[in-house]
Copies of this chain bind each other. A is one copy, B any other.
Amino acid sequence: MTAAVTTQQAWGVEQRVALLTPVPLFAVLPPHARQELAQRFHPRKFPRSAFVFHEGQPADTVHIVAAGRLKTVRTTNDGHQIVLRLINPGELLGVASGWGGGLYSTSARTLDPTVVLQLPTQVFTDYLDRYPSLAQAVINDLGARLREAEERILDAESANVEMRLARALLRLTTLPTPAPPATTIALSRQDLGDLTGTTLSTASRVLSSWHRRGLIFALRERVEILDRAGLTSIAKGS
């Protein structure tokens, strides 16, 4: 998953292909197409907390995360930050944001030092035209993201802060493998708040309370889940 991408030079063919191989979306491409595509991505490194792009910029690039993590954020008029999506290695970014010569509707910012592979949108759409299976895979992906977004709307409009936070923690550790749920969430209280539509203070308060109750182990920029069942019960509304 997190390939050994630590230097800036040396992007050999095999290395490039190796970065693309684990990406689910490109699994549908025949090997030679994947190899060709790998050549056209342009790798870039970003430090922690850097912006990969800003809301309002022309959306002319498709990005894929090779290593590290990103968040997409929007800032409201009154200075509020909302985290709309977290993006892990292997995931695509900038596909929905703007298509028809549009602008990015969010900003993208790194959570860790991150390597991103960038591709001109035009090239990507060419591939979509040539490989219907890739287009179908993209449709699949967007459909899944749309369902996630609707889930979030539901949460935001009907669940209280405790439920939203519990659901977020569970989701963040369940994605997307059907196998063993993770146990650690590496996010600040601020980011957890921005992700659940609450404030730093409230998120901190709730997590502290859960820590005291033994549901989680709360430390700096990290939450360890101790009692999954307990959180599930809170997520459902006690």
Q: Is A145 an interface residue (CB 8 A)?
A: yes
**Interchain CB contact under 8 A, B154 and A157:** no
Q: Is A185 an interface residue (CB 8 A)?
A: no
Nearest Cβ in chain B — how far from A235, in angstroms?
10
Contact with B along A57-86 (1 / 0, CB 8 A): 000000000000000001011101010100
Complex alpha-carbon distance, A97 and B146, angstroms: 8
**Interchain CB contact under 8 A, B128 and A129:** no
> Which single residue of chain B is at the shortest CB-CB distance from A105?
B147
**Chain B residues positioned under 8 Å from A156 (CB to CB):** 153, 156-157, 197
Nearest Cβ in chain B — how far from A231, in angstroms?
16
Of B77, B95, B99, B152, which contacts A236 at CB under 8 A?
A: B77
Q: Is A209 an interface residue (CB 8 A)?
A: no
Complex alpha-carbon distance, A133 and B133, angstroms: 13
**Interchain CB contact under 8 A, A82 and B139:** no
Q: Is A27 an interface residue (CB 8 A)?
A: no
**Chain B residues positioned under 8 Å from A97 (CB to CB):** 143, 147
**Interchain CB contact under 8 A, B129 and A136:** yes
Q: Is A9 an interface residue (CB 8 A)?
A: no
Complex alpha-carbon distance, A236 and B159, angstroms: 25
**Interchain CB contact under 8 A, B158 and A82:** yes
Interface size of A as a range: 35 or more
Complex alpha-carbon distance, A145 and B99, angstroms: 12
Cβ < 8 Å to B, chain A residues 75-131 = 76-78, 80, 82, 84, 95-100, 105-106, 125, 128-130
> Which single residue of chain B is at the shortest CB-CB distance from A74?
B154
**Chain B residues positioned under 8 Å from A197 (CB to CB):** 153, 156-158
Nearest Cβ in chain B — how far from A153, in angstroms?
5
Q: Is A234 an interface residue (CB 8 A)?
A: no
Q: Is A233 an interface residue (CB 8 A)?
A: no
Nearest Cβ in chain B — how far from A186, in angstroms?
22
Complex alpha-carbon distance, A36 and B99, angstroms: 29
**Interchain CB contact under 8 A, B82 and A154:** yes
Of B133, B139, B150, which contacts A149 at CB under 8 A?
A: B150
Contact with B along A7-49 (1 / 0, CB 8 A): 0000000000000000000000000000000000000000000
